[in-house]
Amino acid sequence: MPVTRTFRLAEIAALVGGETLGDGNLEIHGIASLKSAGPRDLSFLSNVSYQSQLRSSQAGALLLAPANRDASNRPRIISEDPYLAYAKVVEAFYPAQHHVAGVHPNAVVHPLARLGNGVQLAPFCSVGKDAVIGDRVRIETGCVIGECVSIGSDCILHGNVTIYANSRIGERAIIHAGAVIGSDGFGMAREGEHWRKIPQIGGVIIGNDVEIGANTTIDRGALDDTVIEDGVKLDNQIQIGHNVHIGAHSAFAGCVGIAGSTRIGRRCTIGGGSVILGHLEIVDDVNIAAASVVMKSIRRAGDYAGLYPLQERSVWARNAANLRNLDGLERRLRYLESTIGGKSRKTR
């Protein structure tokens, strides 16, 4: 992507609230990774494991944490939070593009739908009866907006998004391609060997500043609503079951699945591929490692994990065989303890 303008290093320091070391007049043409940066680029240390790349980098200037103040003598900006500063610099170089308002002649808008000012509606979108689309909303090709859907101002919907009837989305949402909002929850009752579908009559309520990843799905509630609070960030291919409630500013990495009626607190982070069972409660500020399974409610903030360690296949096979019989192993240990008549201390 082409940048729109250049900045002096000192201008960037002011922008991010950092301290300039070295030539503040250096003209910076862009921001780039350590590996790709040239002498006109600003770069930064995103991950401590990249420290070795620092020396070989061609970057003309650097964005560093106070701890790395002297890691280089190039022109540099010292910032308390280089990652946040990096975010601000990227924004400065690549400001959001102004979109072109207008409804494409190949879009179908129900006469009773209401579009705000400056709405951009791409071809092959349909907007249902009584839907309300806020000002400056941009909707890309192939989106389906059901009846009575409301979308707040300044939202962006990428291609082929489907929003079922009655879903409510706040302001400034970014919804990536293929996402589905408001599909039926998975509710049914056994009737003999058959399943009887339970009509899902709840809705989906999404707050402000929410981002929803590509092909992520959020089911509507069974009776009450599924709720995603302000500032929640969902990566791609996440599945949110009916009546889930996600507290503000929580962030889930890709491929997470949350079963129905689970309530997750504020500022939680869930690692990619994790599964959270239904009807649980997770308090604020809980961090779940990737690929973990939450089977019980979590009442205390903190970091949790449950990943099976990867090993060479043959080693894994031996360990897994023992794991299949761990209870027996514990019994053998208990027997030895009773034989010897001693025990370190109560461990269970």
Q: Which residues are catalytic?
A: 242
Of 29 and 267, the one with the shorter C-beta distance to a second copy is: 267
Residue 251 pairs in a beta bridge with 233, 269
- Cα–Cα dist 261/284, whole Å: 17
CA distances from 75 to 40, 71, 89, 230, 263 (A): 11, 11, 16, 39, 48
- Cα–Cα dist 87/99, whole Å: 22
Q: How does DSSP classify residue 310?
A: P
What is the DSSP secondary-structure string of 202-265? --EEE-SS-EE-TT-EEEPPSSS-EEE-TT-EE-TT-EE-TT-EE-TT-EE-TT-EE-TT-EE-
Count of C-beta atoms within a 10 Å radius of residue 307: 13
Instruction: Please state the closest distance from residue 24 (CB atom) to a second copy, in A.
Output: 23
DSSP β-ladder status, 257-258 and 239-240: parallel
Instruction: Please state the closest distance from residue 39 (CB atom) to a second copy, in A.
Output: 16
- 141: amino acid identity, one letter: T
Q: Is 54 helix (H, G, I), strand (E, B) or coil?
A: helix
Instruction: Please state the closest distance from residue 21 (CB atom) to a second copy, in A.
Output: 22
Q: How does DSSP classify residue 306?
A: -
Of the candidates 248, 211, 138, the one whose C-alpha atom is nearest the C-alpha of residue 263 is: 248
- Cα–Cα dist 276/280, whole Å: 8
- Cα–Cα dist 175/139, whole Å: 10
Burial class (CB in 10 A: 0-12, 13-18, 19+), 14: middle
Residue 219 pairs in a beta bridge with 183
Q: How does DSSP classify residue 141?
A: T
Of 73 and 111, the one with the shorter C-beta distance to a second copy is: 111
Of 24 and 129, the one with the shorter C-beta distance to a second copy is: 129
Residue 142 pairs in a beta bridge with none
